Amino acid sequence: MSLTTHDRHLIERALLNLQQDLMERAVKDIDAIPELYNAVKLVERGGKKRDGDVSRTQLTALLNMARSQPADEIKSYIKKRVDRRQKVGKPREAAFWDALLQKLKSVSLLSSGLLADCGIKNPDKELLMEAETKIVGSYLQHVVAHCRYRTQFTVEEVQA
Amino acid sequence: MKYQEAQGILRNLISEATAQKSDVYYEYKVQGLAQDAADIFHKDKNRTQMKNLVNVSLNVQALADVFSYIKSQASKDTSTGALWREKDFAKNLIGALEQNVAKDAENLSKGIWDALKKIKPKQSDLEKSESKEIINALGDGGYNQADLKRTLRLQLVRLFVQHLEAHYIYSARVPS
């Protein structure tokens, strides 16, 4: 699908306008999954890793994917994580990753609305995937930033 | 009315609205935070933390990126990360930005958009058949209320952190 410079400009601006909503959505979603931020730092500081704990390394891997991979790759990576955790008998961890996957699916749906708002009515698959990748990537970056932030405070509260 | 002309009117309205908020931030909103920042950061290698925050706010395109920066600083496992968490500074700063910048941008964008709707084309434009209302002229360039809200958020957060940095330096060097 050939886009004009003006179309590209509109899409970029719409993505920027969406940033605040994506951040607020990420904060709300993560605050609703306490299993995540409760455990991360405790594992790093010598605590025994239990089912439900998500390590900082896992978050870093997720952040790297968010910055470099297309949305469908990210979703299939998380899906594999869910399956693997279920297979090795870690239902709480599997539940966390599955919850995140469902959130990503709902965030992905924003892409067609965003393009429609820019006047692009019937986008091809490639353009949809491009918009979806940017939206999912931004959302995940906010998810990881908020996870790490919440985790630090939670650990200090626990230690106090 | 043409797009460029409409943008000029919009810029004036934004400038007036943000100038009023700037005074409020300077007088009432940043002083407590600046005093905390002076107590926390004005030592050793951490004096530049507020300057870096200002630079980030000047270089990003969305308020969310400023929040992400504050969170990433506070999440660090280093002594700098610990300083950002001291006295709940990062939490309080994020709270202040949410309570002031984000809310003010929301309210101002509504007010400015309503004001724009009330501006009618000039008689001379009507005679030249350029009778578009300002909202439609902005729409020609793809500009909408979401763009306005983001512009306001950015301008307000820049004002907020610039005042914060100024008070911080003052508080650190001129003890009360």
Are B64 and A153 in contact (CB < 8 Å)?
Answer: no
- Residue A33 forms contact with B (CB below 8 Å): no
* CA distances (Å), origin B40, targets B49, B98, B173: 10, 22, 13
> Which long-range contacts (C-beta less than 8 Å, at least 24 apart) are formed by B64-71?
B64/A19, B64/A20, B64/A22, B64/A23, B64/A142, B65/A19, B66/B97, B66/B157, B66/B161, B67/A23, B67/A145, B67/B94, B67/B97, B68/A23, B68/A141, B68/A142, B68/A145, B70/B94, B71/A145, B71/A146, B71/A148, B71/A149
* Mean local confidence (pLDDT), B38-46: 80
Positions of chain A with pLDDT lower than 50, given as ranges: 158
- Express each pLDDT in B3-12 by its tens digit: 888 899 999 9
| CB–CB contacts below 8 A, A to B | 57
Q: Please determine, for residue B150, whether its predicted confidence score (pLDDT) is greater than 80.
A: yes
Are A17 and B150 in contact (CB < 8 Å)?
Answer: yes
pLDDT confidence bin for B42, thresholds 50/70/90: confident
pLDDT of residue A93: 83
Q: Please determine, for residue B37, whether its predicted confidence score (pLDDT) is greater than 70.
A: yes
pLDDT of residue B134: 86
- Cβ–Cβ < 8 Å for A105, A75: yes
* Mean local confidence (pLDDT), B78-104: 95
pLDDT of residue A16: 95
**Choice between B45 and A152, residue whose per-residue pLDDT is larger:** A152
Which of B67, B90, B149 is nearest residue A23 as measured by Cβ atoms?
B67
* Mean local confidence (pLDDT), B50-70: 96
- Cβ–Cβ < 8 Å for B144, B10: no
Q: Tokens at residue A42, please?
A: 């405790």
pLDDT of residue A41: 54
pLDDT confidence bin for B40, thresholds 50/70/90: very high
Q: Please determine, for residue B96, whether its predicted confidence score (pLDDT) is greater than 70.
A: yes
Q: Please determine, for residue B138, whether its predicted confidence score (pLDDT) is greater than 80.
A: yes
pLDDT of residue B53: 97
pLDDT of residue A48: 66
Residue A19 with chain B: CB contacts under 8 Å: 61-65, 150
pLDDT of residue A42: 52
- Residue A151 forms contact with B (CB below 8 Å): yes
What percentage of residues in chain B have a pLDDT greater than 90?
71
Q: Nearest CA of chain B to the CA of A19: how many Å? A: 6
- Residue A153 forms contact with B (CB below 8 Å): yes
> Which long-range contacts (C-beta less than 8 Å, at least 24 apart) are formed by A66-74?
A66/A136, A66/A137, A66/A138, A66/A140, A66/A141, A66/A144, A67/A137, A67/A141, A69/A133, A70/A129, A70/A133, A71/A104, A71/A108, A71/A129, A71/A132, A71/A133, A71/A135, A71/A136, A71/A137, A72/A129, A74/A104, A74/A136, A74/A137, A74/A140
Q: Nearest CA of chain A to the CA of B29: how many Å? A: 22
Q: Please determine, for residue B129, whether its predicted confidence score (pLDDT) is greater than 60.
A: no
pLDDT of residue B10: 94
Q: Please determine, for residue B126, whether its predicted confidence score (pLDDT) is greater than 60.
A: no
Q: Please determine, for residue B84, whether its predicted confidence score (pLDDT) is greater than 90.
A: yes
Which of A20, A23, A153 is nearest residue B85 as measured by Cβ atoms?
A153
Are B61 and A16 in contact (CB < 8 Å)?
Answer: yes
Residue B147 with chain A: CB contacts under 8 Å: 13, 17
**Choice between B120 and A134, residue whose per-residue pLDDT is larger:** A134
* Mean local confidence (pLDDT), B157-169: 96
